[in-house]
Amino acid sequence: MAFNLADLVEHAVDAMPERTALVCGDRSVTYSELDEHANRLAHHLAANGVGERDHVAVYSYNSIEFVETMLAAYKLRAVPINVNFRYVEDELAYLYDNADVVATVFQAQFAPRLAAVRDRLPLLRHFIVVDDGTPPPCAVSEAVAYDDALASGSPARDFPPRDDGDLYILYTGGTTGFPKGVMWRHEDVFRTLGGGIDFVTGEWVNDEHQLAKTGAASPPSHSLVLAPLMHGAAQWTTLGGLFRGLTIVLLPKFDAHDVWDAVDRYRIGALAITGDAMARPLIEALQEGRPDGTAYDTSSLFSFSSTAAVFSPVVKEQLFDLLPGVFISEAVGSSESGFNGMRLLEKGATLNESGLINVSPGPGTLVLDDANRPVAPGEVGRLARGGNVPLGYYKDPEKTAATFVEVDGQRYSIPGDYARLEHDGTVTLLGRGSQCINSGGEKIYPEEVEATLKAHPNVYDVLVIGVDDDRWGQTVAAVVQPRDPANPPSLDELADHCRTRIAGYKVPRALFVVEEIPRQPSGKPDYPRAREVALASKER
C-alpha cells in the first residue's frame, strides 16, 4: 500500500469522476477536471525542468489553481511550498531562498513583489502567472500564463510510480522567528492530519482505497475552507476532504458574511476556524444577518470547532446561544506535531474556567519533563507527540535535533508548548515556552492572561507580551483592541477585572491600546509584530 497524497486524490477521481471537487467564487471543477488540470500542469513543469524532490512555490490567495498546483507537484514527486502572501520583500526572498524554489505559480497581483526579489534567487528559473484580474503587463515578463501552461501539457496520467515516503513540506513562521520548513513523509502526515487515523475511534486506515470507496458510497456533501491555503489547517481540510470525495468550497479571503452565506448556500455541516480572531466577526455577522435584514440559515450546521487557538469563555457562551444544538469543540496541534488532542465543550461549563484549553490527548500525545521523562499528574512539562512525526526541519539540523528527539527508541516531536498533566488524564495547554514571561522568577503564560482579559466587555481582542523591567526582569503588558475605540478601558479597570480571576503576579502592569491586534492570516497570534506595535505606541 502506498499512502501517497497524489495517489489518494487519484483514487477519489477514479471513484467519483463527475462529482464536483472544488468551488471558488463562480468557478467549479469536477474531480476528473481537477485531475486533468493537475496532469497538464505537471507535464508542463516537467518539460521545464521540474523533477523529483524539486520545490514549487505557490504564491496565491485561496483559488482552484492553488490546489491544482499542489497536486501537480505531488504527481511529479516534487514538493509544493506555501508562501505567506503578507510577506514583504526581504521575507519573501528569505523563504524562496531557504526553500530552494526552482519554479513558482503566483497570482498576478503579487508579480511586482516577486520581480523585486528575483535577482536574489539564482535557483528560481520558471514562472507561471495566474490571471486574477490585475491589469497587464505582468512585472515578471517571462512568466507563462497559467492557462497556456495547462494547454501545453498532456492530460495523460502517465507518471512513474510514487510511494509513501515522498515529501510534504509546510513552511511555518510559528509565533516567532524566521519561517521553517517542516518535512513530513506522505504517510506520516496522512496518518496525522489527512484521515489516516480516526482520532475519535483510534482506527487506522489500512487500505489506500478505503477513503475513496467510502466517499463514493456516500451522498455528495460540501466542506468549507475559510482559512488561507498557505496554512496547514486549510491544506488538510482540503486534501483530507478530497481523499473522501467531498466538494471543497474555497473562500478567496476570509469575510464573515461570506462564510455564513456559504453555510446557507451549500448546506455546510462543519466549520473549522482559528479561535476568537475568526469567531468574533462570525458572531457579529450572524447577529447582523444579511444586508436585506433576513437571517442566515444555519440549520445544516452540526459542528463548530477551533483548531490551534482557544475560544475565550465569553465567545464560547455566545456561540452556544447563537448555535443551539451544534457541537462546539476545541482541538490543539502544530505544524511540527499535527493533532495533539481535543475536547467537546458544554454550555455553562466555560465561565468558571481559567480560560486555558484542556483536552483529551490524541494518539501518542504525552507531557515530558526536561529530562524527556513522562511527568506525574499535576506536573508541568513539554507537550510531545510520538508515532507518525515529521522528519525534521528543511536544512536546519540544529533545530531538528532540538525539536525531534528519541526517547527509549521512540521519536517524539516537542515543538515547545508547555502543558500540565491533570489527574483525570487530560492535559491543560499553558502556551509556547518562547512566549513565556518570567517576572521575578514566576512563569506567566500569555494565553491564560489573554483569556482572562477577553472576558472583559470592552476588550475585543488582546495579546499579552513581556516587557523589560529593572526590578522584575519582565512584567506583563496587554496589547488591547477595544470594543469601543472611543472609550478604551484603562489599565486600572483591566487590572481590577483580572485580580478576581488570576494571581496578582499575572495581572498586566502596562497597557497598549491599538486599532487592530496583529495576527497571521490564519488567526494565530503574531507576537513579534504585537511587540513592535506596542513599543511604537504610547503606553496607557
* Residues 6 or more apart in contact with residue 399 via CB below 8 angstroms: 180, 392, 393
Per-residue confidence (pLDDT) for residue 354, from 0 to 100: 53
pLDDT surpassing 80 at residue 167: yes
**Burial (Cβ within 10 Å: 0-12, 13-18, ≥19) of residue 165:** middle
pLDDT tens digit string along 96-112? 999 999 999 999 999 99
Right CATH number for 5-205 from 3.30.1490.20, 3.30.390.30, 3.40.50.980, 1.10.10.10?
3.40.50.980
Quickly list H helices, 110-253.
Answer: 111-117, 146-152, 186-193, 210-216, 232-243
Q: H or E element: which one contains 250? A: strand 247-250
- Is the distance from CB of 318 to CB of 283 less than 8 angstroms? yes
Partners of 407 in the beta sheet?
410
Whether pLDDT at 351 is above 60: no
Lowest-confidence region among 4-13, 49-58, 90-99, 192-201: 192-201
Which of 131-135, 360-364, 516-520 holds the top average pLDDT? Answer: 131-135
Distance of CA 216 to the CA centre of its chain: 28
**What is the sign, positive or negative, of the torsion defined by CA atoms of 371, 377, 383, 386?**
positive
Q: How many residues does the chain have?
A: 540
pTM: 0.85
Task: Measure the CA–CA gap between 508 and 7, rounded to whole angstroms.
Answer: 52
How large is the average pLDDT for residues 301-326? 86
Q: Which three cell numbers stand for residue 143?
A: 512568466
Phi first, then psi: what are they for 12, rounded to 5°? -70, -40
Helix, strand or coil, per DSSP, at residue 139: coil
CB 259 within 8 A of CB 251: yes
Q: Does the pLDDT of residue 297 top 90, yes or no?
A: yes
Q: What long-range pairs does 459-465 form, CB within 8 A, spacing at least 24?
A: 459/483, 459/489, 459/494, 460/280, 461/276, 461/277, 461/280, 461/516, 461/517, 462/517, 463/517, 463/518, 463/525, 463/527, 463/530, 464/437, 464/508, 465/435, 465/437, 465/527, 465/530, 465/531, 465/534
DSSP per-residue codes, 466-523: EEEETTTEEEEEEEEEESSTTSPPPHHHHHHHHHTTS-GGGS-SEEEE-SS--B-TTS
CA-based nearest residue to 27, from 66, 57, 56: 66
> What is the rounded average pLDDT of the residues 183-202?
89
Amino acid at 153: G
429 - beta bridge partners?
A: 419
pLDDT number for residue 403: 93
User: CA–CA separation, 280 vs 290, rounded Å?
Assistant: 17
Q: How far apart are CA 112 and CA 92, in angstroms?
A: 12
Mean local confidence (pLDDT), 278-300: 94
Compute the distance between CA of residue 198 and CA of residue 190 in angstroms, rounded to an integer: 11
Higher pLDDT: 250 or 532? It is 250
Contact partners, residue 215, CB within 8 Å, separation at least 6: 12, 15, 16, 243, 244, 245, 246
CATH topology of domain 254-432: Rossmann fold (3.40.50)
Partners of residue 420 on adjacent β-strands: 380, 428
Annotated domain spans of the chain? 5-205, 254-432, 436-536
Task: List the grid coordinates of 461.
Answer: 481582542
Question: What b/e sequence results for 167-180 when a residue is b if at least 16 CB atoms lie within 10 Å of its CB, and e otherwise?
Answer: bbbbbbbbbeeebb
pLDDT at 370 over 50: yes
- Domain 5-205 shares a fold with domain 254-432: yes
Mean pLDDT of 207-213: 96
Largest CA distance in the chain: 69
C-alpha–C-alpha distance, residues 77 and 73, integer Å? 6
Q: Looking at domain 436-536, which CATH architecture does it have?
A: 2-Layer Sandwich (3.30)
Confidence of residue 131 (pLDDT cuts 50, 70, 90): very high
SS3 for 402?
helix
Tens of pLDDT, residue by residue over 29-42, are: 999 999 999 999 99
Cα distances (Å, whole numbers) of residue 433 to 166, 188, 438, 464, 520: 32, 26, 11, 14, 19
pLDDT tens, residue by residue, 132-150: 999 999 999 999 999 999 9
Q: Check whether the bond before 137 is cis (ω within 30° of 0).
A: yes
